[in-house]
Chain A
Amino acid sequence: MIKVENLRKSFGKLEVLKGITTTIKQGEVVAIIGPSGSGKSTFLRCLNLLEEPTDGKVWIGDQEITNRKTNIMKVRQNVGMVFQHFHLFPHMTVLENLTYAPMKVKGMAKAEAEAKAMELLRKVGLAQKANEYPSRLSGGQKQRVAIARALAMSPEVMLFDEPTSALDPEMVKEVLEVMKSLAHTGMTMAIVTHEMGFAREVADRVLFLDGGLLVEDASPSEFFSAPKSKRAQEFLEKML
């Protein structure tokens, strides 16, 4: 579960998030959409404290991560994140990318970490690439490895920031398929995306951000067929 209460974030004088309140329930898949610069990435990055909120509170599970006493490292182990540009570790093989953090951070034994990594690689259809370096993979393959890498930490929650935006069109589908099957496992997911079809099909809820405000919070069917706000209507007209 993710709970966000009156979340604000400023970069210097620029207020990017202007008080956002929402709850993402256990097992819920939430699509976050909105125009460029509306604060989607910033919102997502506040959920694992890659950005430090200026004000407001965030809970992951029953832990208030914005509390100063909370161990940020522990929180992040519990929150997987997938980036637009993958950010695989280029000097490590695919397998090492998956086993490094569980071994180093959680103290998992090598054999166990490797067994788990291979299982995840099979799930994303890349077991045969275990010993390749990331530079030998296509964009879609890289992103699937990045998803597996995040999952290797057994997070409670997964955050995705435009996971398919940097991919060639023909590779988008394979990544979305992996995300879809992850959604079916009951993973709690927050996904910033421009893939409206995917949001409509897979998300339980859509959050529409504009100018740092949460303008709409609705089911996909409501949002896509009858958006309430003018901004959302304009946005959808451009997108669809």
Chain B
Amino acid sequence: MGFGVNLNFSQFIPSIPFILEGVLVTLKIVALAALLGFALGIILALFKIGRIKVLTWLANVYTSVFRGTPLVLQLMIIYFGMPQIIGFEIDAFPAAVIAFGLNSAAYISEIIRAGILAVDKGQREAAMALGIPYKPMMRDIILPQALKNILPALMNEFITLTKESAVVTVIGAMDIMRRAYIVGGDKYAFFEPLLIAGLIYYILVMILTLLGKAVEGRMRKSD
């Protein structure tokens, strides 16, 4: 028999805990990158809708560059390229967080910008008429309403981030993907460990999706 389905999952059972440890690594990278991307995304969105032309321009260029080049390239520039400039090595983990954070900031800023613009103009006018300054107006009145509207889009972005985080494999971070690959290399069989990794990603994404739905449902209740 030259070929045929020849799968043997049982030999990988001892390796499953090793692969599962990657879940924590993946989640840590995604969570930190999401935080970074969210914070930076808000700032970029405010620049985009603000009146200061230079900042608007800067934010637009930023978005354009990060959306216009491959994520894996950005990751490799930060991990392999940056040490040349800053003079010291960066570990795979912080490099991944920075690359994904900066990248998702570009996408998130677009989502937030659209969300802010979708808030009724009257809200801003009512706030201005009460003499509420720009900062508290944005923080307490406009952004909470914008965030509520864009929650599904944000959730989508985090799910994308979770899946795309698998490219950290190329810089050697020990995430789900990398571990599956290592196990495959040990046993000279990649199909089963990669399937296991796929299943783990799928379950993560499903959990995130359900979580998003739950949060959305709770926010709906206030109106």
Interface residues in chain A, defined as those with a beta carbon under 8 Å from any beta carbon in chain B: 48, 50, 73-81, 83, 85, 87-91, 100-101, 104-105, 133, 135, 146, 149-150, 153
Scan residues 123-148 of chain B and give those whose CB is less than 8 A from a CB of chain A.
123, 125-126, 128-133, 136, 140-141, 144-145, 148
In the bound complex, CA of A181 to CA of B12 (Å): 80
Is A149 in contact with B223, judged by CB distance below 8 angstroms? no
| 20 extra A-B contacts, CB within 8 A, seeds A73-B131, A76-B128, A77-B131 | A48-B129, A50-B128, A76-B129, A76-B130, A76-B131, A81-B129, A83-B125, A83-B126, A83-B129, A87-B123, A87-B125, A88-B126, A89-B126, A90-B223, A91-B144, A91-B145, A101-B130, A101-B132, A104-B132, A105-B132
Q: Give the top 6 A-B pairs by smallest Cβ distance, nearest first.
A: A77-B131, A87-B126, A87-B122, A76-B131, A81-B129, A101-B130
Report the minimum CB–CB distance from B97 to chain A (whole Å): 31
- 14 A-B residue contacts at CB 8 Å? A48-B129, A75-B131, A76-B128, A76-B131, A77-B130, A83-B125, A83-B129, A89-B141, A90-B223, A91-B222, A100-B132, A101-B130, A101-B132, A153-B131
Is B125 in contact with A50, judged by CB distance below 8 angstroms? yes
Residues of A within 8 A of B126 (CB): 81, 83, 87-89, 146
B89 beta carbon closer than 8 Å to chain A: no
Is A80 in contact with B223, judged by CB distance below 8 angstroms? no
Report the minimum CB–CB distance from B10 to chain A (whole Å): 54
In the bound complex, CA of A80 to CA of B70 (Å): 52
Closest to B121 in A: A87
Contact with A along B194-223 (1 / 0, CB 8 A): 000000000000000000000000000011
B120 beta carbon closer than 8 Å to chain A: yes
Most buried by A among B128, B131, B136, B223: B131
Interface residues in chain B, defined as those with a beta carbon under 8 Å from any beta carbon in chain A: 120, 122-123, 125-126, 128-133, 136, 140-141, 144-145, 148, 222-223
Given contacts A73-B133, A81-B129, A91-B145, contact A100 B140 (CB under 8 A): yes
Residues of A within 8 A of B120 (CB): 87
Report the minimum CB–CB distance from B223 to chain A (whole Å): 5
In the bound complex, CA of A76 to CA of B223 (Å): 29
